[in-house]
Structure 1
Amino acid sequence: MLRILGKASSINVRKVLWACVEIGIPFEREDWGTGFRSTQTPEFLALNPNAMVPVIQDDDFILWESNSIIRYLASRYNGAHLYPTEARAKARVDQWIDWQASDLNKSWSYAFMSLVRHSPEHQDSQALAAACSNWSRHMEILDRQLDSTGAYVSGDEFSLADVPIGLSVNRWFETPLAHPNLPAVSDYYERLSRRPGYRLYGRNGTP
């Protein structure tokens, strides 16, 4: 059985858990990370030298990096309905997965650390205002895309890209800041909330 190492409250661990539900992969999860077993131990570092969760063990195969993990799981376990094999359809899904990791994540990091984690190093008012504005700008990009597709981020069907994007949308709505009116994002959030995997793992690891 697939072994997943990482606490369920981690947004990156939840990517893997939600993907497993969508694909239909049974798994066992172990609590690792802040508040649980340390990722700085020799045992964990032998699996991931970056000391970060999630990590999966699939038989004798070890893999880290959440987006690499969900792509691997979809490719290995008959997840073509989420991650197409046709080159252009697959590239469209990859485009939005990579956008979430490279652009959207960076846009919300300062605001999230300030407003949710209350980090003392992230309390500069000007930097916070700039971060909130940048986050809103990226969510407006997503809103336009969702308005164009009318359904999901890469098209009219749910795909692997909706897992990381959907979790980021949850983070957006759960962070206490001024949210511009983004009707397509709001509709998308409700649409995702009807999925069993999202109800289990989409809202901070609690049903």
Structure 2
Amino acid sequence: MVRVLGRVTSINVRKVLWALDELGISYEREDWGLPLRDPREPQFLALNPNAQVPVFVEDDGSTLWESNAILVYLAQTRKALLPQAPQALGLALQWFTWQATELNPPWGYALNALVRKRPGYEDPAKIAESIATWTARMDLLEAELGKGSAFIAGDEFSIADIVLGLSIHRWFIVPFDHKPMPHAQAYYERLKQRPAGARWMPDDMV
């Protein structure tokens, strides 16, 4: 049986768990990551020297880290969760990459200030800037989703929808005055209709 090392409060761990549930793969999960278990312990560092969750352990004992790399590996080895048609595949990977490089970075300050309440994140101007940049990225996604496809790359659910779904979930959960995003809202509700989507996008996890 495969194993996933990481706490479920991590959005990156939930990416992997959602994919495994979609694929119908049984797995064991071990709590790692602060405040539950320090990933700087030697046995964890031997698997991921970056001391970050998740770590994926295949049933043959091989390991992978970096959540998006794990998703691509699962899609490739299980022949699912990525379109076969070249254009749709390109679109899926385009938005899959964009989520990590463009959509995620702006939320950092707002998330730490408004949800995690971390010291040093109290500057109202920086909170506003974080939200404004995040909203601009969401505007791009809103426009794409407004084209009418059920999923980001067409009619076929993919790993791109997993990562975008979790990011949109975070957008709606973080407490601030949100700009209306009707297409993103409808997409989010479609993803939550999937059993794995509902499981890994609960209202008590950001």
Cα deviations across residues 113-150 of structure 1 (Å, max 9, x unaligned)? 11111112211111111111111111111110101133
Q: Which amino acid aligns with 1:49?
A: P
**CA distance in structure 1 between the partners assigned to 2:46 and 2:149 by the alignment:** 44
Counting only pairs closer than 5 Å after superposition, residues 1-207 of structure 1 correspond to structure 2 as: 1-58=1-58, 59-79=60-80, 82-203=81-202
- Is the Cα–Cα contact under 8 Å of residues 12 and 54 in structure 1 kept in the other structure? yes
SS in 2 for 1:109: helix
- What runs of 5+ residues in structure 1 fail to find an aligned partner? none
Deviation at 1:169, TM superposition (A): 0.6
TM-score by length of 1: 0.94
- Is the Cα–Cα contact under 8 Å of residues 6 and 54 in structure 1 kept in the other structure? yes
Tell me: CA distance 1:40–1:204, structure 2 relative to 1, closer, same or farther (3 Å): farther
Deviation at 1:205, TM superposition (A): 7.7
- Is the Cα–Cα contact under 8 Å of residues 14 and 205 in structure 1 kept in the other structure? no
Q: Which amino acid aligns with 2:25?
A: I
SS in 1 for 2:57: strand
TM-score by length of 2: 0.94
- Is the Cα–Cα contact under 8 Å of residues 19 and 70 in structure 1 kept in the other structure? yes
Comparing 149-158 and 25-34, the one that deviates more: 149-158
**CA distance in structure 2 between the partners assigned to 1:60 and 1:157 by the alignment:** 31
Deviation at 1:152, TM superposition (A): 1.5
Deviation at 1:204, TM superposition (A): 6.5
Tell me: CA distance 1:164–1:205, structure 2 relative to 1, closer, same or farther (3 Å): farther
Cα deviations across residues 139-177 of structure 1 (Å, max 9, x unaligned)? 111110101133222223221100010001110110001
**CA distance in structure 2 between the partners assigned to 1:187 and 1:54 by the alignment:** 29
**CA distance in structure 2 between the partners assigned to 1:150 and 1:21 by the alignment:** 23
Deviation at 1:89, TM superposition (A): 2.4
User: What's the % identity of the aligned pairs?
Assistant: 46
Deviation at 1:87, TM superposition (A): 3.5
- Is the Cα–Cα contact under 8 Å of residues 108 and 131 in structure 1 kept in the other structure? yes
- What runs of 5+ residues in structure 2 fail to find an aligned partner? none
Q: Which amino acid aligns with 1:46?
A: A
**Please, what is the CA RMSD of the aligned residues?**
1.4
Higher relative contact order (CA 8 A, sep 6+): 1
